[in-house]
Each structure stands twice: as structure tokens, then as C-alpha cells.
Structure 1
Amino acid sequence: MSTSPSPVSSAVGPVRVGQLWQDMAPDMVDRERMLRVLAQTDTHAECVVERDRQGTAGRKARPLAIRRFATSAFKLIEDVVDDADQALYARFLAAMTDVQGANPSPVAYAAAALRVHHELTAEAAKAQG
């Protein structure tokens, strides 16, 4: 039986500065250890422990091989928003915050996102033709 991490979906993109990853090692899952990528080279990522129930938050982790992030050893928790996507992100976020009520339903949020999607699709069609 192999103890090496197994590959996960190739849908996970490249490791980027600013991402938050959960350490999925058996001894780290219960600790909810989360690592934020601070810098990277072609082969390694420099991370800081952002959360750890055992009290190591704020400390730098040892450099981690980039290839390990494409396995089940880590789970992407929070991605970074590219500058090019920032305006689109802001529109979706504004639509989410416009949802009214003390306990808005997931359907209300979905309807707000769908409305923005339709607006963006119409704007793209108008720009092309």
C-alpha cells in the first residue's frame, strides 16, 4: 500500500501567491492547519501558517514542493482574484450584497448572480456586434 498522496482533479490550477491551502495530512486535518502562499519559485512555495489549532499560526512553514499541491496532500480553500477579474468580481459581490432580508435564501443569491451573468452576456454580445 502506497502512503504517497494521490492525484486530485486537474481542475486545480497553478499554485499562486495569495492562495490559502488546507494541509490534508492525517495529523493536520483535525488541527485545521491552513497555509497561505507568500512566495514561490519554479519548484517550491514559501508559506505562512494562517490557522492551526495547535498554536503555530503566524510561523513560516518549511518550503513545500509545488508538485505536492496537485495531490490530495493539500486542498485549495481560497484562490486569489486576478486584477483582470476584479471588476467582474465586484459586480457579482455587489449583486450578492443587494439581496435583502434577514435570512436571504440561496435561491435569492443564485437569482442575483444569474442576473449579473445575463447582464454580462448582453454586454459582450453588444460589444461584438
Structure 2
Amino acid sequence: MSDSSSPAGSTGTAAVRVRQLWQDMAPDMVARERMLRVAEIGDTHADCVVEHDTQGTAGRTARIALRRFAGSAFRLVEEAVDDTDQIAHAQFLKAMAEVQGANPLPAAYAAAALKVHKDLLREANGGPS
């Protein structure tokens, strides 16, 4: 897999690029507000990370056929973001996905985000990671 634009763009698939955010438009997924961030692109499929899902699957991965992005199955929500922002975002997403329990409290998410924030500040200031 590569992290460049899809070579299949000329064969009728949407211009799928790494770091784009797509909304899953399947009726049951629209209700769940499921959003997928493209992580890697291969010849026929994109590996995506579930960035948002009201049923708690954020942080999990999904393998989506590139041809599905060309139709009405997905809607582009956000173009690719800067690499530095994406790395930080991935760290925050991972921390959120690690919050345990069927109904985690907002304070648990806040504590996880604060830990990532402090770690990023320490790294930026040249401290031990």
C-alpha cells in the first residue's frame, strides 16, 4: 500500500487521498454519524480509521473498496490535513479509543486528551517522551 493518491482515479473512482475524511452514507451509518479517515491506499482498496461513530467504534479500521467512494456510498467531508496535525490527531484518537467502559464519562475522555496534550508539549519542548 502507498500513501499517495489513488491511481484508480482515472478508472471512475473518486480522487481518494490519504488523510481525507469521508462520511459513510449507508442509512444505518448516517444515523451513527460514522466518519472514516483514509490511512493508506492500495490498488483497489483504502484502509481507513473510524474517526467518529456514535456506537463507539472510533479508532478501529475499515477496508473500503475505492470504487465505493465514487458513488453515493461516501461523501467527502474534509480534504487531507497537514502531516503534523494528522500525527497529533491520530494520538488523540488512539487515546479516545482506549477509554474503557460501555458508557465512559466525559471526564475519562478529557483525562486521556490531557495526557496526550502534555506528552505533545513535552516532545515539542525537547523533553523526554
When normalised by structure 1's length, the TM-score is: 0.51
Sort the Cα spacing of 1:13 and 1:67 in 2 relative to 1 into closer, same or farther, 3 A: closer
User: How far 1:81 moved relative to its partner?
Assistant: 5.7
Number of residue-to-residue matches in the alignment: 71
Q: Distance in 2 between matches of 1:23 and 1:42?
A: 21
State percent identity of aligned pairs. Answer: 70
Give the AA of the match of 1:59.
Answer: R
**Which residue does 2:76 correspond to in 1?**
76
Residues in 2 aligned to 1:13 and 1:39: alpha-carbon distance in whole angstroms: 15
Alignment partner, residue 64 of structure 1: 64
1:44 matches 2:42 = no
In structure 1, how many angstroms separate the alpha carbons of the residues matched to 2:16 and 2:44?
10
- Residues 70 and 82 of structure 1, relative CA distance in 2, 3 Å threshold: farther
C-alpha displacement of 1:13: 5.0
In 2, Cα distance between equivalents of 1:41 and 1:74: 18
Tell me the CA shift for residue 33 of structure 1.
Answer: 0.1
**What secondary structure does 2:58 align onto?**
coil
Q: SS of the residue aligned with 1:56? A: coil
Give unpaired runs (5+ residues) of structure 1. Answer: 1-11, 84-129
Report the residue type matching 1:30 in the other structure.
Answer: A
Q: Give the Å deviation of 1:45.
A: 0.1
Instruction: Indicate the RMSD between aligned Cα atoms, in angstroms.
Output: 2.0
